């Protein structure tokens, strides 16, 4: 009886090997599809290489061999292009409500059209956060539960940030403030 039982495990082993090949094949196909998808979307959303000149030809260095200076080159985002700065971490405050304990958690991003505006906002971020926190603690749940209430708070928040930056730098520097997450409990 012991000899009859021995061939059974040997018969099961080829079946395991038979399943191994399709599983490996599926894994390779899935990895190739994921890599191809990442390449496709990265290529589609990417811009032309910075070193390419007009009509895709490589850019030439100037006649003195430097290839830089003269006000040309990649100096960051184009003038007037929107640049965003997250206000991180989220601002979490208690809302002004006498009946129940209410909380507000807000993630925001500032928008500036200049690198100087982004740098000024970074430099004065502690004061910006404090000003926004004080503004948010004055809010009542019933006033900001509606879309109009949120838009009003967004406008007042932008004005508060611009006020801080105008006081510190002489220029409002930022032109937009966007709520990227807004949770009330």
**CATH number of the domain residue 100 falls in:** 3.30.479.30
The tens-digit pLDDT sequence of the chain (185 residues) is 555 555 555 555 555 566 777 776 677 777 777 766 666 666 554 444 444 444 444 444 444 444 444 445 455 555 689 999 999 999 999 988 788 899 999 999 999 999 999 999 999 999 999 999 999 999 999 999 999 999 999 999 999 999 999 999 999 999 999 999 999 99
| 132 burial type by CB count under 10 A (0-12 exposed, 13-18 middle, 19+ buried) | buried
Q: Strands 176-184, 103-112: parallel, antiparallel or unpaired by DSSP? A: antiparallel
Range of the domain at 170: 83-184
Together in a domain, 126 and 37: no
Domains contained in the chain, number: 2
Tokens read off for 105: 């958690």
For 58, the 3-state DSSP assignment is strand
The predicted model scores a pTM of 0.57
């Amino acid at each position: 009886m012991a000899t009859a039982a021995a061939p059974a495990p040997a018969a099961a082993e080829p079946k395991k090997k038979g399943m191994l090949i399709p599983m490996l094949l599926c894994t390779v196909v899935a990895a190739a599809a994921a890599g191809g998808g990442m390449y496709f979307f990265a290529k589609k959303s990417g811009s032309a290489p910075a070193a390419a000149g007009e009509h895709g030809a490589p850019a030439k260095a100037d006649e003195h061999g430097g290839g830089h200076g003269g006000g040309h080159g990649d100096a960051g985002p184009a003038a007037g292009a929107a640049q965003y700065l997250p206000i991180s971490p989220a601002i979490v405050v208690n809302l002004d409500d006498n009946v129940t304990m209410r909380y507000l958690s807000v993630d925001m991003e500032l928008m500036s059209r200049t690198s100087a505006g982004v740098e000024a906002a970074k430099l004065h971020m502690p004061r910006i956060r404090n000003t926004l926190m004080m503004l948010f603690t004055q809010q009542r749940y019933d006033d900001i539960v509606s879309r109009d209430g949120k838009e009003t708070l967004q406008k007042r928040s932008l004005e508060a940030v611009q006020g801080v930056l105008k006081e510190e730098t002489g220029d409002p520097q930022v032109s937009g403030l966007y709520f990227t997450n807004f949770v009330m409990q």
